[in-house]
Amino acid sequence: MKIIYIEFLKLKTKARSWMGPILVFWLILIAYPLTVEFLKEKLVIGFFSVLWIAILISMMFAAEDIFTEDYNDGTLEQTMIVNSSFSLIVGVKIFIYWLFIGIPISLLSFIFSLGTSENLIISLLVLPMSMICSYIFLNIFVLGNALSLNKGSVLGAIVTMPLALPVLIVLGKSVSAIQLELNFTGFIFLLLGSLSIIIVIVPTVISYIIKAHLE
């Protein structure tokens, strides 16, 4: 609990780190209707694709400086020395970032989905899907940030971007299945399976990568 409280306080003081991605997400979805005709049918056709990509981009920005400041001021090295379960701290840090950024984005996804599709059932399903995919995307890009810790965050995002493509495909297929009233539970379980694997593996891999940077 102490680790969670410390990370919560650290992120709370860095409003730019969590307000920026939320603002980017909001601007993308606000700008989307301006690029197409104001017809409900045309808005709905491309909305969900834009939604998933907006979440992807927002999580990429969210992961941009998750370790950079701690790495530069030596906090990361001190944390690694003091704590034996460094992977747990990495997982907690990612989770706190997701609470500040992923949850608001998921709620906005529900609101925009309901306003665009005017379908409560689809919008209610979009909410948990947004929560799952935002957490997956954040882990993927945090991994990229760790890989390029002293080389620039853009390189890390480019390297790990292909890992997000299968998730985007599953999200697109699941929404299509929901709209066509087909069985979509398989896609949801696939997302949950991916999430469970990522929660276990990614923090451990990141901890080893950071240790390699610091040695």
Instruction: State residue 211's pLDDT score.
Output: 82
pLDDT band at residue 119 under the 50/70/90 scheme: confident
Question: What DSSP assignment string belongs to 80-110?
Answer: HHH-S-HHHHHHHHHHHHHHHHHHHHHHHHH
Average pLDDT over residues 121-132: 91
Coil, helix or strand at residue 14: coil
137-157: pLDDT as tens digits: 999 999 988 888 777 667 778
pLDDT of residue 52: 93
Domain definitions of the chain by residue range? 2-214
Which of 34-38, 107-111, 158-162, 184-188 is predicted most confidently?
107-111
CA 188/CA 124 separation, integer angstroms: 13
What is the pLDDT at residue 9?
Answer: 62
User: Is 70 exceeded by the pLDDT of residue 17?
Assistant: no
pLDDT over 90, % of the chain: 32
pLDDT at 75 over 80: no
Mean residue pLDDT across the chain: 83
Q: Which residues contact 47 (CB under 8 A, 6 or more apart)?
A: 32, 112, 113, 116, 117
User: For 24-39, how does the pLDDT look when each residue is reduced to its tens digit (9 = 90+)?
Assistant: 999 999 988 777 766 6
To which residue do tokens 């929660």 refer? Answer: 199
Task: Please indicate, yes or no, whether the overall pTM of this predicted structure exceeds 0.95.
Answer: no
* Per-residue pLDDT at 58: 93
